[in-house]
Amino acid sequence: MSFAEVLLERKLLLIGSFVLTSGKVSPYYLDLRPLPNYPEFYDMVNQAIKKVKDIPHDIIVGIATGGVPLSSFMACNLREPMGYIRIEKKGHGTNRTLELDVKGKRVLLVDDVATTGVSIEKATLEILSGGGKVSDALVIIDRQEGASQRLEKLGVKLHSLFKISEILDELLKSDKLKDNEKKSILDYLVKNVEK
């Protein structure tokens, strides 16, 4: 079974009408937070490790909450240090967003999905303000809606295991979607997804 089919079967990719954080309405929604519940997650960890093996970094930092499981498994398998960052302050305790010391360290940021790149941008700026350096970020899926361009302006290269256009193209060619779902996805891709 392909990753596109896994996403659909495991209900990690939902088809319908969804309001995104950006306010856009999308005919599909990715929720990869449950992915660690499934055996396919281990394949993602192995793919991620291969993808970053030649990227210089001192520490892997997961963006809460979606990036924390993948960054944890990667760091454990690579025997490297790991931390995490919250995009929003929790409002109690130490009220920190960054749960590690990054001063003088090269940070590899990890998240589950990138759309416009705002979360990764915020995490990057927080790490920079803590004295760290970020030149690369990894996500499982790039929704291809501006994240790579946004991050490029900060000097951060976005790496992904999959691009949404590849996943959706495969599903559009299959019999897994209804005709009206295919049409709304195609329309959305034409208007919103960069190639």
Write the DSSP string, 151-189: HHTTT-EEEEEEEHHHHHHHHHTSSSS-HHHHHHHHHHH
Question: Is 118 assigned a ligand-binding role in the annotation?
Answer: yes
Question: So what's the pLDDT on residue 39?
Answer: 96
Question: Is 117 assigned a ligand-binding role in the annotation?
Answer: yes
Number of folded domains that form the chain: 1
Question: So what's the pLDDT on residue 136?
Answer: 98
Range of weakest confidence among 42-56, 85-99, 107-121, 136-150 = 85-99
Question: Is 190 assigned a ligand-binding role in the annotation?
Answer: no
Question: Is 51 assigned a ligand-binding role in the annotation?
Answer: no
Question: Is 137 assigned a ligand-binding role in the annotation?
Answer: no
> Residues with Cβ < 8 Å from 63, sequence gap 6 or more?
84, 85, 87, 109, 110, 111, 119, 120, 123
Strand partners, 26: 18
Question: Is 111 assigned a ligand-binding role in the annotation?
Answer: yes
Question: Is 92 assigned a ligand-binding role in the annotation?
Answer: yes
pLDDT surpasses 80 at 97: no
Structural domain span for residue 145: 3-192
Question: Is 119 assigned a ligand-binding role in the annotation?
Answer: yes
Give 131's pLDDT tier (boundaries 50, 70, 90).
very high
> What does the alpha-carbon distance between residue 36 and residue 66 come to, in Å, rounded to a whole number?
10
Give the domain CATH number at 151: 3.40.50.2020
pLDDT for 135-190, tens place per residue?
999 999 999 999 999 999 999 999 999 999 999 999 999 999 999 999 999 999 99
Question: Is 54 assigned a ligand-binding role in the annotation?
Answer: no
Question: So what's the pLDDT on residue 152?
Answer: 98
pLDDT for 44-83, tens place per residue?
999 999 999 999 999 999 999 999 999 999 999 999 999 9
